[in-house]
Amino acid sequence: MQNIQDGGPRVRAATWSTREFDSWMDLLGISRCVQVDNIDGCGRGLRATRDLLPDEVALKVPSELLLSDQTVLHHSNYEDMQEGMSWSSRLALGLLNEKSRGDRSVHRDYIGMLPAPPRVLSRWKEDELVELQNRTLEGETDMIYFWRHENWEDTITSAERVLTGSEFDSFRQRISQQDFLDAHDLVCSRAIKLETARGVERFLVPVFDLANHSPRGGRYAMDEDGNVCLITGIEVTRGAEVCLDYGGRTNDQFLLHYGHLSPACLRTNATRVDGSQHHISWLDLGEPLHKNVREAAEALLQTMPTSVEEDLNLLEEEAGEQALALQYRIGKKQLLRAIAGKQEAFDWFLEGLF
């Protein structure tokens, strides 16, 4: 089986130093005002190599280095399987196919620098999910879990339809269900969506996907030559981190799709308090809330089996998914407390801002 993380005879790009990344980007013609570096608490990220102004191109990745869900399977043994497959399945299968080509693939180093599949909620065990204390989120996780497996079944169906008997046997020997799900989770957490002449396309973009999230981060765009650019959102001084705005996501969405909590999102989280689809965030608390909303927040707090104080004590002893679940529910409960009108929750929020 071909796990996407396998190393091979080449030195894995995941171990490269900043200088090695620079040399590689020079070789491939990636123009930039950033360098790959370690960011405290976030793993790898991008740092500015000079002062950058708002709306300035900080990174430009050539079109030939992009992996597109529309073209990644072209000229491969799986090209005729694309019909009926989701964009994520096409991109996952294309990633595995490029991995199997080894040194013949122009994407070999990019594949080598890909991390382990993210610990998105659909990879958590049931007893870990319960620790989130959010049944709605558990239900959304179940939907994604079954969607991933349906994509695998659809891929197998496409393979049976297109490949001959021996080709299909070879396909099943080379790619297991777990291989596919690992690649699927990677592309879903790293792909960007752009409108092109072919319609809506999803892309994996080398280096670009190392940019961490910030609500004040930059945006991405495709230029007239098909290159993908990271454009700054604010002024960035030399040596500071260059981030990307992933969009107005809540902590629920970060856990579902990325497998982590955003430090910025901890203080700008949103929650539902009355069973509706309407979200209330910290930013909404500057306006008076209806009495029914405050009472609903208080009632929801009462249904939770642990208090914020108990969770904070537990957090000192836990790690991994348990710690992540605690951080998530502490943030949610503090927001609910603020909605209910408890002053100490506002103090917690302000401490995080200053």
DSSP string, 54-95: TT-EEEEE-GGG-EETTTTTTTSTTGGG-TT--HHHHHHHHH
Co-location of 166 and 306 in the same domain: no
Q: Which of 204, 226, 261 is the last residue of a domain?
A: 204
Segment 185-210, tens digit of pLDDT: 999 999 999 999 889 999 999 999 89
Query: How many domains does the chain fold into?
Result: 2
Q: Which of 177, 204, 231 is the last residue of a domain?
A: 204
Position 260 in a domain: no
CATH number at residue 191: 3.90.1410.10
Q: Specify the DSSP element, H or E, that contains 128.
A: helix 126-130
Position 215 in a domain: no
CA distance linking residue 313 with residue 141, whole number of Å: 27
pLDDT (0 to 100) of residue 354 = 35
Task: Give me the domain span that covers residue 159.
Answer: 13-53+61-204
DSSP β-ladder status, 31-32 and 57-61: antiparallel
Q: For residue 269, what pLDDT band results from cuts at 50, 70 and 90?
A: low
Q: Is the pLDDT assigned to residue 263 strictly greater than 60?
A: yes
Give, rounded to a whole angstrom, the gap between the first and last alpha carbons of the chain: 50
DSSP β-ladder status, 199-204 and 228-231: unpaired
Sequence letter at residue 43: G
Position 158 in a domain: yes
Q: Specify the DSSP element, H or E, that contains 322.
A: helix 320-339
Segment 122-137, tens digit of pLDDT: 999 999 999 999 988 9
pTM value? Answer: 0.86
Position 3 in a domain: no
pLDDT (0 to 100) of residue 332 = 86
Phi and psi at 262, nearest 5°, equal -85, 130
**Percentage of the chain surpassing pLDDT 70?**
88
Q: Which of 204, 233, 251 is the last residue of a domain?
A: 204
Non-local CB neighbours of 72 within 8 Å, separated by 6+ positions: 90, 91, 93, 94, 95, 97, 98
Phi and psi at 80, nearest 5°, equal -80, 0
pLDDT: is 284 or 103 the higher one? 103
Q: Is the pLDDT assigned to residue 38 strictly greater than 50?
A: yes
pLDDT (0 to 100) of residue 12 = 63
Co-location of 191 and 311 in the same domain: no
Classify 133 in phi/psi space as left (phi over 0), alpha (psi -120 to 50) or beta. left
Co-location of 309 and 197 in the same domain: no
pLDDT (0 to 100) of residue 48 = 97
Q: For residue 2, what pLDDT band results from cuts at 50, 70 and 90?
A: very low
